[in-house]
A and B are shown apart, each in its own frame.
Chain A
Amino acid sequence: MSSITLKRSYSRSSILSQVHNLGLNYITCLLSSVSEPQSHHFSPSIQKQPKYGNGYHFLRESGTGFSSLFMKTLKISYGSHWVTFPTNYYVRQFSSHVAFEPSTSYGLTVDGIIANNWTMLDESESDWKSHASAIAQSIHLIKKRLQWKKLIVRLEILSAQLNKPDLWDDPVRAGKICREHGSLMGKMKEVKGFEQELLEHIDMIKLAREENDADLESESLKALLRMRRSTKEKELEALLAGEHDSSSCFIEVQAGAGGTESMDWASMVMQMYKLWAQHRGYGVTVVDEMSGDIAGIKRATIKVDGEYAFGYAKAEVGVHRLVRISPFDSGKRRHTSFAAVAVIPILGDVSSRVQISESDLRIERFRAGGAGGQHVNTTESAVRITHIPTGVTATCQNERSQHQNKASAMAVLQSRVDQLEMARQAQMNAQHTQSLTEISWGNQIRTYVLHPYRMVKDLRTNYEVSDPDSVLEGDLDGFILSFLSASLDKDEDYL
């Protein structure tokens, strides 16, 4: 009966998901009807717990005399207020856990808050309505970015699969389903937790006012402010909720037609990404680079290591166009050059990678000349690896040993083969980005103009900047975020 196994946790999201599980809104509703909440003095064991003003504490006491007193009660603390409920309330509630619109004790819902259109004052104004509507709007945006409706449908499909008795006949697939289910569930619970928490704070403010409890009111207000800030941050995180967004990635740049002109532009673009990645604190390594005959690069691949590298960089996929007076043209004419950019995620989860067997590979010395062996001393030890069944190839020549070049090329090959597989499965649910060979030169995403005026403009979002130098030095976040939000936020019928 009283099998509450909740422990205080510092992780907000886990508390909130637990809170949600217990259908706390029900308890909240009760709150207003409990005329005299039983207040307890802190016992020493409770005082050791950090005191939080912005949440509820569920405590399971065990093995002490103290516990017996609470065996069948659930304690909720709100600031200095402790409220106790008989456990059978929430047990009943837990078992009849159904989806319904959470609301405050007087029927206000999150959508209701948005519909109220309260004037939104600055954070510093300490106005609870402003906080509440800012939070409600953040939640709304987060849901939109998570593609809420799709997420719920997907969760239902996954849950159905999880319930099938033959699930574990294919352990790899089962593992995948479990992981995806867990990750989506986490996202859903977090958002629901936000909704609950918001409404509870509003209830508390009401309660505090009714009881003229200034402390409680100010605590609640502070809690709302904290929430306002943290949900604002979550808006950004929700932009990067795609399946592989948190992965590291490879960025590839290839020069378009136009010889030296475009090869120079391709190396400028590559440099822009190197600087961007460094500014973000990512690790950058050049994996493969084919220099142009006179200047620049024909193509190059860099590896960008760090959390969310793929999530951000995927916004850069497509053709980048440059307009300038050519430094290579003695006639000082205006030239237009193109460079194509592809981004490939490096899947962290080994089980989701394509299994490549040694016998499917052909490994060749990249620039073999002459008799080799003792005859030749060269620091050039690049290899080209071909995956025979798909024809995908990869090369690395920037490592100092053949063994390491081979290992790096293999990592690139693996990701390219994975990407191909993702593209194949794209109709299901995986997001995928185009490889260099798939990108059409007509797919221009951004123009950089250095002459006759100076501007960088994204053709997808119309986001523009009048200082090309800063962009070419890696200041790309404005473009990336505006693209990510535009692509997720435009979709209005998600809810």
Chain B
Amino acid sequence: MKLSFTRASLSSVLVPLIFNSNLVRPISCSSVSCSPASAKPQTPLFLRSPTFSATLSDLKKWQDWAKTLASSVGSSFLDSDNGPDATLLQREFNWLIEDALEHPKTIGITDNDKKNMVVTLRADLEDLYELWKQRIEERRPFQYIVGCEHWRDLVLSVQEGVLIPRPETELIVDLVGDVIKDNEGLREGLWADLGTGSGALAIGIGRILGSSGRVIATDLSPVAVAVASFNVQRYNLQDKIKIKQGSWFEPLKDVKGELMGLVSNPPYIPSEHISGLQAEVAKYEPRLALDGGSNGVGSLLHLCNGAVSMLKPGGFFAFETNGENQCKFLVDYMETETEGCFRDAKIISDFAGIQRFVTGFRAQ
């Protein structure tokens, strides 16, 4: 099949800023795609310049091949580990087209006399074959394939080494939106997003704060710091959002007691569950972003304790959790261990009806 491409062309798609084109190594998809140690942000496919081209008929051949490959999956991934089914993969393929073609509509042209028309691409056609093979055969997450995730109204750059932000987490921005709506102190204050990953929450919140509102976002992972910084720049928020590397509150020592808001989606999956996760998560996403220790609540408790001294009286917090048990545990902890420190602790469900978030305020 279509595997006669060279290392050179592949690297130009996957890691253009890291490698020069002449590195010769045998192709191994996982080593090609995963370079978690690198702290260089990669450019998502849709932002690359359309310097490649193919004829419409070659492109359609790729499309037919890709669709056949996708439909061959049927519901096998779904049945084995709750992975994507053929319908979802087809939809992802359409999005790949959207990102890879300069003018995505051209692939819909059916005129027979247009089949030699040249279509401009943001990646070499051979690499597009390889990328789709990785998606289906290796279960590499779609978002790493195209290098971005659409989250709320943002398009965030992501790559191996950074957690792909989840739809559930979008709601935290709505929760923050609700509390700042009629509270100027919160709207114009200093916020923190701990374990920012791609920077999703920091950017989402940075865009709804008032003109003097600021966000500090931290992460232990150098890749996350690099990617989050890239995303912050892309939304031109570098004056509003500072990204700092370090563990949880440690980079925030100088703003103790000054935070008006604190959000975090820390790793919360119990260690023993990690290996049983769907392939896209278990094989590709960073363990540092997922593994919450033996019962999963270690980081959450650490954040809870830290919030006592870091938040200003009246300051707001929102944490994402693994579900009902962690939510209840956390609220219970606040009511007993840190009694009197917080008020209005609440559990909020996500759209799937799972109790997902704990919110509240630092007591006066």
Count of chain A residues with a beta carbon within 8 Å of a chain B beta carbon? 27
Q: Beyond A370-B82, A373-B320, A375-B277, is A404–B150 a contact (Cβ under 8 Å)?
A: yes
The answer to whether the Cβ of A434 comes within 8 Å of any Cβ in the partner chain is no
Alpha-carbon separation in the docked complex, A379 to B268 (Å) = 21
Q: B170 touches which one: A371, A374, A400, A402 (CB < 8 A)?
A: A402
Contact between chains at A403 and B170 (CB < 8 Å): yes
In angstroms, how far is the closest chain A Cβ from the Cβ of B356? 7
Complex Cα spacing A365 to B352, Å = 5
Determine, out of B22-30, B51-59, B87-95, B116-124, the stretch whose residues face the partner at the interface.
B87-95
Question: Would you call B150 and A399 a contact (CB within 8 A)?
Answer: yes
List residues of chain B with CB within 8 A of the CB of A381.
167
Residues on B with C-beta less than 8 A from A403 are 151-153, 170
Residues of B contacting A373 in the complex (Cβ-Cβ under 8 angstroms): 166, 168-169, 268, 320-323, 350, 354, 356
Digit string of B163-175 for contact with A (CB within 8 Å is 1, else 0)? Answer: 1101111100000
Q: Interface majority SS on A: helix, strand, loop or mixed?
A: loop
Q: Which of B136-178 contact A (CB under 8 A)?
A: 141-143, 149-154, 163-164, 166-170
Closest B residue to A380 by CB, please name it.
B88
Q: How far is the CB of A255 from chain B (nearest CB, A)?
A: 16
Assess A401 versus B167: contact at CB under 8 Å? Given A375-B269, A378-B84: yes
Does A291 make an interface contact (CB < 8 A)?
Answer: yes
Contact with A along B238-282 (1 / 0, CB 8 A): 000000000000000000000000000101110001000110110
Closest beta carbon of chain B to A324's beta carbon, Å: 20
Distance of A398 Cα from B150 Cα, bound (Å): 12
Give the CA-CA distance A434 to B321 in the complex, in Å: 45
Question: Is B352 touching A368 in the complex (CB atoms < 8 A)?
Answer: yes
A404 and B153 within 8 A (CB): yes
Known: A365-B352, A371-B354, A383-B351. A400 touches B95 (CB 8 A): yes
Binary CB contact string for chain B from 41 to 64 against chain A (1 if under 8 A, 0 otherwise): 000000000000000000000000
Q: Tell me the chain A residues, 49-102 only, with Cβ under 8 Å from chain B.
A: none
B290 close to chain A: CB less than 8 A: yes
Determine whether the beta carbon of A376 is less than 8 Å from that of B84.
no
Measured CA separation A370–B277 after assembly (Å): 10
Question: Which residues of chain B have C-beta atoms less than 8 A from A365's C-beta?
Answer: 167, 350-353
Choice from A377, A380, A398, A399 contacting B281 with Cβ under 8 Å: A377
A391 interface hit (Cβ, 8 Å):
no
Complex Cα gap A400–B93 (Å): 12
Q: Which residues of A contact B278 (CB under 8 A)?
A: 375-377
User: Is B289's beta carbon under 8 Å from chain A?
Assistant: yes
The one of B82, B152, B154, B166 in contact with A374, judged by C-beta atoms closer than 8 angstroms, is: B166
Bits for B279-300, please: 1 = Cβ < 8 Å to A, else 0. 0110001000110000000000
Asked if residues A364 and B352 are in contact (CB atoms below 8 Å), the reply is yes
Q: Smallest Cβ distance from A95 to chain B, in angstroms? A: 55
Any B CB within 8 A of the CB of A363 = yes
Selected from B95, B142, B267, B281, the residue in CB contact (under 8 A) with A376 is B281
Q: Which residues on A sit within 8 Å (CB–CB) of B321?
A: 373
| B138 → chain A closest CB, angstroms | 14
Q: Given A364-B353, A374-B268, A402-B170, A380 and B84 touching (CB < 8 A)?
A: yes
Pairwise interchain contact A379-B95, C-beta atoms closer than 8 A = yes
A372 at the interface (CB under 8 A from B): yes
Question: Which of A368, A369, A372, A379 is the one whose CB lies under 8 Å from B143?
Answer: A379
Residues of A within 8 A of B353 (CB): 364-365, 368
Contact present for A376 and B170 (CB under 8 Å) = no
Task: List which A349-403 residues lie within 8 A (CB) of chain B.
Answer: 363-365, 368-381, 383, 397-403
Chain A residues whose CB sits within 8 angstroms of the CB of B91 once the complex forms:
379, 397-398
Taking a contact as CB atoms under 8 Å apart, the answer to whether B351 and A363 are in contact is: yes
A372, A383, A398: most-surrounded residue (chain B CB, <10 A): A372
Q: Closest CB-CB distance, A400 to chain B, in whole Å?
A: 3
**A383 closest partner in B (C-beta):** B351
Residues of chain A lying within 8 A (CB to CB) of residue B166: 372-374, 376-377
A398 to B92, CA, bound (A): 10
Indicate if the CB atoms of B289 and A376 lie closer than 8 Å.
no
Q: Which residue from B88, B151, B267 sits with its C-beta under 8 Å from A378? A: B88
Q: Which residues of A contact B154 (CB under 8 A)?
A: 401
B36 to chain A, nearest CB (A): 16
In whole angstroms, how far apart are the Cα atoms of A397 and B88 in the complex?
10
A398 to B87, CA, bound (A): 11
Within 8 A of A (CB), among B337-358: 350-354, 356
Partner of B352, one of A291, A372, A377: A372
Encode contact with B along A445-459: 1 for CB under 8 Å, 0 otherwise.
Answer: 000000000000000
Residues of B within 8 A of A291 (CB): 87
Chain A residues closer than 8 Å to B149, beta-carbon distance: 401
Contacts of B322 in A (CB 8 A): 371, 373-374
Q: Which residues of B contact A378 (CB under 8 A)?
A: 84, 88
Say whether, besides A377-B278, A377-B285, A399-B150, A372 and B168 are in contact (CB < 8 Å): yes
By a CB distance below 8 angstroms, the chain A residues around B281 are 374-377
Closest residue on chain A to residue B92 by CB atoms: A379
> With A372-B168, A374-B269, A380-B84 in contact, is A401–B153 under 8 Å at CB?
yes
* Cross-interface CB contact of B323 among A363, A371, A404, cutoff 8 Å: A371
Q: Is the CB of A374 within 8 A of B351?
A: no
Q: Given A378-B88, A400-B150, A364–B351 Cβ distance below 8 Å?
A: yes
Instruction: With CB as the reference atom, state the residue of chain A lying closest to B139.
Output: A377
- Bound CA–CA A226/B170 (angstroms): 59
Cα distance A446–B352 in the bound complex, in angstroms: 42
From A372, A374, A380, B267 is in contact (CB under 8 Å) with A374
Chain A residues with CB under 8 Å of B168's CB are 372-373
Chain B residues whose C-beta falls within 8 Å of the C-beta of A363 in the assembled complex: 351
Contact residues in A for B164 (Cβ distance below 8 Å): 377
**How many angstroms between the C-alpha atoms of A379 and B83 in the bound complex?**
10
> How many Å from the CB of A243 to the closest CB on chain B?
32
A121 to chain B, nearest CB (A): 42
Complex CA distance for A165 and B173, rounded to whole angstroms: 48
B142 contacts A379, CB within 8 Å?
yes
Name, among A397, A399, A400, A404, the residue most crowded by chain B CB atoms within 10 Å (CB to CB). Answer: A400
Q: List A contacts of B352 (CB < 8 A).
A: 364-365, 368, 372
Return B323 CB to nearest CB of chain A, in Å.
6
Contact B163 A372 (CB under 8 A): no
Decide: B354 and A401 in contact? CB cutoff 8 A.
no
For window 397-448 of A, CB contacts with B under 8 Å fall at 397-404
Residue of B nearest to A371 (CB): B323
- B residues near A375, Cβ cutoff 8 Å: 269, 273, 277-278, 281
| CB neighbours of B142 from chain A (8 A) | 379
List of A residues within 8 angstroms of B323 by Cβ:
371-373
Closest 4 CB pairs of A and B: A400-B150, A368-B352, A402-B167, A365-B352
Known: A375-B278, A377-B141, A377-B281. 12 other contacts (CB 8 A): A291-B87, A364-B351, A364-B352, A373-B169, A373-B354, A373-B356, A374-B268, A374-B289, A375-B281, A376-B281, A400-B95, A403-B170
20 contacts between A and B (CB under 8 A): A365-B352, A368-B353, A370-B82, A371-B354, A373-B321, A373-B350, A374-B163, A374-B265, A374-B268, A374-B281, A374-B289, A375-B281, A377-B141, A377-B164, A377-B280, A379-B88, A379-B92, A379-B95, A400-B150, A402-B351
